[in-house]
């Protein structure tokens, strides 16, 4: 079983809509979770981190964590074409090792 799973997409949403990206993980002891954004041909960029159950908001981004269900999600409000990218969910695996999901490609259409 893969440690971190994401739907590869593409997920298409119209401009101004809410984009919902989901991630499940297998290791019940995981304590922190990260969302990275990666534009085509570029390196991953950290956009959100979450450590506690519940919601964490940062601008148009909201991360949601449910440890009981081993589920973490990322909501992007008022989606813009510039949000079109691949979104990677990552879980720490000791030290500074990160285990990534395969990523969800988001397309925001005009």
Binding mask 8-47 for another protein (x = CB under 8 A): -----------------------xx-x-------xxxxx-
CA distances from 69 to 23, 28, 54, 108 (A): 11, 9, 12, 28
Query: Can you tell me which of 29, 69, 96, 110 binds another protein, judged by CB under 8 A?
Result: 96
- Residue 88 CA to its chain's centroid (Å): 5
Parallel, antiparallel or unpaired: strands 54-58 and 45-50? unpaired
Binding of another protein by 97 (CB under 8 A):
yes
Residues that bind another protein (CB under 8 A): 31-32, 34, 42-46, 49, 51, 88, 92-103
């Amino acid at each position: 079983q893969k440690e971190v799973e994401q739907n590869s997409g593409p997920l298409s949403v119209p401009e101004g809509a809410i984009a919902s990206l989901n991630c499940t993980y297998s290791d019940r002891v995981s304590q922190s979770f990260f969302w990275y954004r990666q534009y085509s041909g570029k390196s991953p960029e950290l956009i959100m981190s979450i450590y506690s159950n519940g919601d964490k908001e940062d601008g148009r981004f909201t991360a949601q964590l449910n440890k009981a269900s081993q589920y973490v999600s990322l909501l992007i409000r008022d989606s813009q074409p510039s949000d079109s990218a691949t979104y990677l969910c990552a879980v720490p695996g000791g030290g500074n090792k990160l285990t990534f999901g395969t990523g969800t490609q988001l397309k925001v259409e005009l």
